[in-house]
Amino acid sequence: MTDSAEKFTRQTLLDVQPLTPHLFTLRTTRDQGFRFRAGQFARLGVAKADGTTVWRAYSMVSSPFDEFLEFFSIVVPDGEFTSELSRLQPGDELLVDRQAFGYLTLDRFVDGRDLWLLSTGTGVAPFLSILQDFEVWEKFERIILVYSVREAQELAYQKLIQELPQRDYLAEYAHKFRFIATVTREQHPGALSGRITTLIDNGELERTAGVALTPEHSRVMLCGNPQMIDDTRKLLKARGLQLSLTRRPGQVAVENYW
């Protein structure tokens, strides 16, 4: 069902899954006319009791080819949107903007051999969508997903990440993929310890990936904590990796909807 102004569609909440006291996933129906590129985000709206609507932007976790939309959210203490969302149950209504937004998409890069996807917290969401899109596996020789969290329990979507390379349409490309988890506030088996910026600075991230970060071969996407994005951009710039702009293609793409 479409609003008369055609700025948004009315969708049904299908499922809400709490992962930790502070993180949850939600899945909604998808309007047949809603189109997006992997890596983009949508604005979700929840109607308040007073008749107004509160909106918030979320990257799609789901693939552009899924029949549903899935999102990954942090619970903001006393946050207007998540407070309203917490009242909803499967079957309730959510509003979804008719247009997708954002430029954290593969067409930001005109070339490149190695794709680095650097994320903190819920910033992993657009990368999960990108990794479910066949295009990325064809375009790059190596794909390194780096997922940084404070505590190991916050490492969401581990089953999806592990199973991705085994999907029928991706199996022949499985050798291209490397997943690196890093936990900043505790030790966790199989994960690095430290912030992304620290691991770039001391070389541990590249050693673990077995790939060097270079302007010639590396294309880097950043999504997550704004401080991480700013600090990482500075480190990459010092190595000669520049922000990719329409007028000047570069090696780094960033999402800034926080």
**pLDDT tens digits, 212-255:** 999 999 999 999 999 999 999 999 999 999 999 988 999 999 98
- Kindly report the number of other CB atoms within 10 A of residue 15's CB atom: 11
- Among 1.10.10.10, 3.40.50.880, 3.40.50.80, 1.10.287.130, what is the CATH number of 106-254? 3.40.50.80
The span from the CA of 125 to the CA of 147, in Å, is: 10
The span from the CA of 167 to the CA of 129, in Å, is: 14
pLDDT tens digits along 171-189: 899 999 999 999 999 999 9
Q: Are 126 and 255 contacting, i.e. CB atoms less than 8 angstroms apart?
A: yes
CATH homologous superfamily of 8-97: Translation factors (2.40.30.10)
pLDDT tens digits along 106-156: 999 999 999 999 999 999 999 999 999 999 999 999 999 999 999 999 999
Q: Are 223 and 254 contacting, i.e. CB atoms less than 8 angstroms apart?
A: yes
The span from the CA of 80 to the CA of 46, in Å, is: 10
Residue 2: the pLDDT is 45
Q: Are 220 and 236 contacting, i.e. CB atoms less than 8 angstroms apart?
A: yes
Whether the per-residue pLDDT at 1 is higher than 50: the answer is: no
Question: Which one-letter amino acid corresponds to residue 106?
Answer: L
Query: Average pLDDT, stretch 13-23?
Result: 93
Task: Please list the residue range(s) of the chain that carry CATH number 2.40.30.10.
Answer: 8-97
Q: Are 60 and 107 contacting, i.e. CB atoms less than 8 angstroms apart?
A: no
Task: Please list the residue range(s) of the chain that carry CATH number 3.40.50.80.
Answer: 106-254
192-193, strands of its sheet edge to edge: 192-193, 177-183, 142-149, 114-120, 218-223, 252-254
- Of residues 249, 252, 202, the one with CA closest to residue 223: 252
Residue 5: the pLDDT is 55
- Average pLDDT along the chain: 94
